[in-house]
């Protein structure tokens, strides 16, 4: 079996370390037991070759032989085709996972990303814009809380939907926005206790520590 290649930034500042989205891909590959290696692309100078694979100049993307896939959700669906541990084979099981993949990315992350940008940028004052964003993420989190209070994983057993949802919630939790949501927090704890997450997270931290030592941050 070919070794797949996960492409990510060769260096990032401290703040996003442990949250760069190559972690989702590493985690899925670990859960599936598929062989891979990680390669860095420049964080500062993003060249045409980068944009040819990821049209927004972002990371991650995955190379599998002749195939190149960008968008973490699309990559996880691609990997799901290669492992029943990530995405079940039966039609009903697959559909359940796929709907939660979209829910994680389109119902939750579309609320959490603008909210976290305001958080990172310290724009959380008493303004109508911030109140609206905070209310928006608060409502979404409450709905997920109600779901997670009833089940261990989103779609029966653990799947790529849980990699995505728990990773989205992890960032919200980092800023303390899940303090009133015990089911969400217990879900994150369950997900991040999995050996696949622990290895993926440790490897990402080690990757950027090595980049520091190599002087990549400039
Ligand atoms: N929707 C994309 C988002 C990718 C994304 O936001 N990547 C971040 C790193 S985690 C990035 O490349 N940020 C740099 C930038 O946006 O210029 C995905 O899920 O793959």
pLDDT at 87: 98
> Which of 113, 195, 196, 183 minimizes the C-alpha distance to 153?
183
Give, for ligand 1, the residue of 58, 70, 121, 170 to mutate: max count of ligand atoms closer than 8 Å to Cβ: 58
Tell me how far the alpha carbon of residue 8 lies from the centroid of ligand 1, in angstroms.
10
Count of H helices and E strands in the chain? 9, 4
pLDDT tops 80 at residue 180? yes
Band of pLDDT at residue 2, cut at 50, 70 and 90: confident
In angstroms, the Cα distances linking 185 to 16, 61, 116, 141, 175 are 20, 29, 18, 11, 13
Residues 6+ apart with CB under 8 A from 26: 6, 36, 38, 199, 200, 203, 204
Q: Say whether pTM exceeds 0.95.
A: yes
Over residues 158-163, mean pLDDT: 98
Question: What are the pLDDT digits (tens) for 132-159?
Answer: 999 999 999 999 999 999 999 999 999 9
pLDDT at 142: 97
> Which of 92, 113, 112, 206 minimizes the C-alpha distance to 159?
92
Question: What are the pLDDT digits (tens) for 14-24?
Answer: 999 999 999 99
Task: In whole angstroms, give the CA distance from residue 141 to residue 145.
Answer: 6
pLDDT at 168: 98
pLDDT at 218: 72
Question: What are the pLDDT digits (tens) for 72-128?
Answer: 999 999 999 999 999 999 999 999 999 999 999 999 999 999 999 999 899 998 999
Residues with CB under 6 A from ligand 1: 20-21, 57-59, 71-72
Please give the domain boundaries of the chain with CATH numbers for all domains. 4-85+196-213 (3.40.30.10), 91-194 (1.20.1050.10)
CB distance 87 to 97 below 8 Å:
yes
Task: In whole angstroms, give the CA distance from residue 182 to residue 162.
Answer: 17
Band of pLDDT at residue 217, cut at 50, 70 and 90: confident
Question: What are the pLDDT digits (tens) for 30-76?
Answer: 999 999 999 999 999 999 999 999 999 999 999 999 999 999 999 99
Residue nearest to atom 9 of ligand 1 (CA): 20
């Amino acid at each position: 079996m070919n070794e797949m290649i996960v492409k990510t930034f060769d260096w990032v500042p401290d703040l996003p370390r442990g949250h760069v989205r190559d972690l989702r891909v590493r985690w899925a590959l670990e859960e599936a037991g598929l062989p891979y290696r990680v390669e860095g692309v420049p964080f500062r100078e993003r060249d045409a070759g980068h944009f040819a694979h990821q049209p927004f100049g972002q990371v991650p993307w995955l190379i599998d032989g002749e195939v190149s896939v960008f968008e973490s959700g699309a990559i996880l669906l691609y990997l799901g085709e290669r492992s029943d541990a990530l995405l079940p084979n039966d039609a009903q099981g697959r559909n359940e996972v796929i709907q939660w993949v979209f829910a994680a990315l389109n119902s939750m992350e579309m609320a959490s990303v603008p909210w976290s940008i305001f958080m990172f940028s310290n724009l959380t004052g008493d303004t109508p814009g911030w109140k609206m964003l905070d209310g928006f993420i608060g409502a979404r989190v409450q709905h997920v809380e109600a779901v997670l209070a009833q089940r261990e994983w989103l779609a029966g057993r653990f799947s790529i939907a849980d990699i995505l949802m728990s990773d989205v919630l992890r960032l919200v939790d980092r800023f303390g926005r899940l303090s009133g949501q015990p089911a969400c927090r217990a879900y994150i704890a369950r997900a991040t206790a999995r050996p696949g997450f622990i290895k993926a997270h440790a490897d990402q931290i080690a990757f950027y520590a090595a980049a520091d030592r190599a002087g990549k941050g400039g």
